[in-house]
Structure 1
Amino acid sequence: MSRTISSTALAMVDRLSKGLVDLVPQIGSEDFPRLLAEVIKEFVPSDELTLILFEDKPVFLVSEKTELIGSQSVDMYLAGAYLLDPFYRASVDLKKSQFFTYDELVPDGFRQSEFYKQYLVKIGLEDECGYLIIFPGGQFLHLSVGHGKGSEARLNPSELQLLESLTPLIDMLCQQHWGEQLSNPLNRQLDQALANFGSSKLTEREGTVIRMVLQGYSTSAIADKLFISPGTVRVHLRNSYKKLDIGSQVDLHNLFMGALMQFENYEGGDPLEGFF
């Protein structure tokens, strides 16, 4: 019984073959991250494609729009705002490389969060998907494909399925390129800075509530997760704002970032201690 291969499938195999012919010889070279991004763009449209390597600290390897965010926002992201990035949060417990869409990761109030407004909105991104490539030493690569609001480049289900199917290949190529280069274990010390934020000034429950607000959880989602009423969440939030002398989520985000940026090397405890 004969089988016919569609022209679409043949064209895709052709693009993949040509991309790998250019990419594979560059494993280990400085051009590899850029060429990897080019291969991805051969398969799906995007408004922004970014590679961030998280080793001892995060480093932008490829980014087409970081200049639109501004140097201050980039500095803040690298100094610790990445702790609030849903892709980073997903990496904490991830054991193997995986493809994600933002909708799979973000809390229900994420698009009202200051992280979303400070970083994604400023560069015009509304939707994002990408890979988390996990290395043996705990380091990871975030390869993201971003799309603007109303963009013609936004991906359909078939394109998302295609990207997901490429996960083993992308993972293998990245392991080959970075596997022997990564000598520094991932510094997760700042994870404790988020976990301890506000602990010297707030009750345990108040601290939990404001950390969830920072990550983009809505009042109703916080209530559901903590098994309390939305009214109780609002009381905890009001009391926390009063103790921290702030009045909004913008103030809370700025306080968190200000506390983090005072450290060259965070060594534990509430980042707010000594900040006021």
Structure 2
Amino acid sequence: MSRTIHPTALTMIARLSNSLTQLVPQIGSDDFPQLLIEVIKQLVPADEMTLILFEDKPEFLVSEKTEKIGNQSIDMYLAGAYLLDPFYRASVELKQSQFFTYGELVPDGFRQSEFYKQYLVKIGLEDECGYLIIFPGGQFLHLSIGHGVGSTARLSRSERQLLETLTPLIDMLCQQHWGDQLSKPLNRQLDQALANFGSSKLTERECAVIRMVLQGYSPASIADKLFISPGTVRVHLRNSYRKLDIGSQVDLHNLFMGALMRFEQYEGGDPLEGFF
């Protein structure tokens, strides 16, 4: 019995075939990153796509709306705010390339976090998804796909399924393009800056609480993960703020970033030591 391929599927296959015909010959060229973005845009609607390579340090390869963030926020992201990015957090444990939606990664209080307010809100993005492409040396590529607040061009379930299905193809193309170009291992030293933040002034439990607050966890979620009560979380947070001489999540985020940005090269220990 013969089967008829749905016209929509035929159209998609034709688009993908045409796009790959243009993209594959550009593997290894400077045009490849932008062309890769254009291929995905031909398959699904997107208001903003960003390509960040994490090798020795983060590098924006393609970013269509970073002017909305401003240079100061971009500098802060590259200096260490990326440590709080849910996609970066996922990369720490990831062993192979994968497609994610923000909903699969973000903590329950993420929309109240300063990272969300200072980066995603400024760009005007929400409902983001994307790929984490993991290279053999531990470096990785974050290809994000986002939509503006109030945009009608949202990804449907089938479009997200299409993107997920394409993960092996996107991974193969990226491995072929960047695989031979990456010579520096990913500098994970700043991961220890987040892990050690406040350790010279706070108890171990207080450090755990403020670290989770920085990442966007709610008090209830922190309590659940640390096996303590929400009231105890609030006590730890209040004591931490008092010891750090701050009064809000905004102050906590600014203190974290201020401590990181004073280092040309972080070499270990609490970033706050000698800061104030």
Aligned-residue Cα RMSD (Å) equals: 0.5
How far apart in 1 are the matches of 2:109 and 2:96?
27
Q: How does 1:132-151 map to 2 (within 5 A)?
A: 132-151=132-151
Q: How does 1:41-56 map to 2 (within 5 A)?
A: 41-56=41-56
TM (normalized to structure 2)? 0.99
Q: How does 1:113-152 map to 2 (within 5 A)?
A: 113-152=113-152
Q: How does 1:82-93 map to 2 (within 5 A)?
A: 82-93=82-93
TM (normalized to structure 1)? 0.99
Return the offset for 1:150: 2.3
Look up the equivalent residue of 2:214 and give its one-letter code: L
- Aligned equivalent of 1:229: 229
Return the offset for 1:154: 1.1
How far apart in 2 are the matches of 1:219 and 1:130?
28
Return the offset for 1:147: 1.0
Look up the equivalent residue of 2:140 and give its one-letter code: F
How far apart in 2 are the matches of 1:113 and 1:240?
17
SS in structure 1 opposite 2:52? strand
Equivalences, count = 276
Hey, which bits of structure 1, 4+ residues long, moved more than 2 A?
A: none
How far apart in 2 are the matches of 1:2 and 1:18?
26
Question: Share of identical aligned residues, percent?
Answer: 86
How far apart in 1 are the matches of 2:216 and 2:154?
23
How far apart in 1 are the matches of 2:12 and 2:229?
52
How far apart in 1 are the matches of 2:222 and 2:145?
29
How far apart in 2 are the matches of 1:228 and 1:149?
36
Structure 1 residue runs of 5 or longer lacking an equivalent are none
Q: How does 1:212-223 map to 2 (within 5 A)?
A: 212-223=212-223
How far apart in 2 are the matches of 1:149 and 1:159?
19
How far apart in 1 are the matches of 2:12 and 2:227?
49
Look up the equivalent residue of 1:188 and give its one-letter code: R
Look up the equivalent residue of 1:38 and give its one-letter code: E
How far apart in 2 are the matches of 1:84 and 1:199?
18
Look up the equivalent residue of 2:257 and give its one-letter code: M
- Aligned equivalent of 2:104: 104
How far apart in 2 are the matches of 1:59 and 1:129?
19
- Aligned equivalent of 2:265: 265
- Aligned equivalent of 1:23: 23
SS in structure 2 opposite 1:92? helix
How far apart in 2 are the matches of 1:154 and 1:254?
33
Return the offset for 1:3: 1.1
Look up the equivalent residue of 1:232 and give its one-letter code: T
Structure 2 residue runs of 5 or longer lacking an equivalent are none
SS in structure 2 opposite 1:75? helix
